[in-house]
Amino acid sequence: MTQKTPASLKVRKKSLSKSSKAWVQRQLRDPYVAKAQAEGFRARAAYKLLEVDEKFHILKPGQSVVDLGCAPGSWCQIAASRGCRVVGIDLLECDAMAGVTFIQDDFTTEQGYEQVKQAMKSEFVDLVLCDMAANTVGHKETDGLRTQALSELAVDFALNHLRKGGSFCTKLFMNGYEAEAKKKMATLFERVQLFKPESSRAESREIFLVCVNKK
């Protein structure tokens, strides 16, 4: 969903459910939401990738990048601004952006997967990004497992389509799988680390697995 401005959130909050009102209030209090709007980013998530790149230097001009679960496009926006050629896929529609090929489809289906491969114009890419989470049902363990399943598919995609020297960054939910995933990837990449950006909300169970320089 495209990020709403604080003003529009204030206008709509009276008609929202209790849980939605809580989300709105959290957005209004979040300094990264206002900062993203002021700096022209599509979502606060942009700062997570900026922090990842500041620490791990995974974005380089001329790279080919695939962003799995890209809506509303803030990670694509960052990558494109660094001179990368980007393919992004999501179930939700994304507004057009220079330097980015957006695909509205499900990358976990054969149709979505094939569309991404065609848009890549090569079997291998330099960087795979995934800030994707499954739709929540309100049960932490279930939500974590659903997002874990998506992360496992993102891992498979990265291992199949990253060229030697390529990098991978995916979101995980802390439920024990993150240690298993780190151990698996440590045998395949020169540097593997779990990283929680400062822009990630303190109460969030998300953490990012960053894998640099595929062997």
Tell me if residue 171 is catalytic: yes
Q: How far apart, in whole angstroms, are the C-alpha atoms of residue 128 and residue 41?
A: 20
The encoded tokens of residue 115 equal: 């569309």
The CA R_g of the chain, rounded to the nearest whole Å, is 17
What gap in Å lies between CA 186 and CA 194, rounded to an integer? 11
The answer to whether the peptide bond before residue 31 is cis (omega within 30 degrees of 0) is: no
Which of 142, 155, 145 minimizes the C-alpha distance to 186?
155
Q: Checking DSSP bridges between strand 162-173 and strand 125-130, what pairing results, if any?
A: parallel
Of 199, 201, 206, 207, give the one whose Cα is nearest residue 47: 199
Q: Is 92 left (phi over 0), alpha (psi -120 to 50) or beta?
A: beta
Q: Which of 35, 171, 182, 214 is catalytic?
A: 171
User: Phi-psi category of 78—alpha, beta or left, where left has phi over 0 and alpha has psi -120 to 50?
Assistant: alpha
Triad 122, 89, 185: Cα angle to 5°: 70
Active site residues: 171
